[in-house]
Amino acid sequence: MANGNKPGTNSGNQGGIYQERGPRGGLKDNFTTVPENRSFPPTSQPGSTWVPRSKTPHGSHK
């Protein structure tokens, strides 16, 4: 199982829609949209991470 993104880490150029995954690997009904180069929000319980569901197109970064 691939590791998810921890709350507070930077999304870099991987902006998109993310779903919360619990500490034992189960997916939760909690989604968030994270823009590029922004921090991931807190999860509903300690030990949970954010896993990507769909990516957004890259911006121009001008």
Residue 33 lies in a domain: yes
Q: Which domain holds residue 38?
A: 9-55
All residue ranges of the chain with pLDDT < 50 are 1
Residue 1 lies in a domain: no
**pTM, whole model, 2 decimals?**
0.86
Residue 20 lies in a domain: yes
Number of domains comprising the chain: 1
Residue 42 lies in a domain: yes
Residue 60 lies in a domain: no
Q: Which of 16, 61, 57, 62 has the alpha carbon at shortest distance from 4?
A: 16
Q: How far apart are CA 47 and CA 54, in angstroms?
A: 22
Residue 62 lies in a domain: no
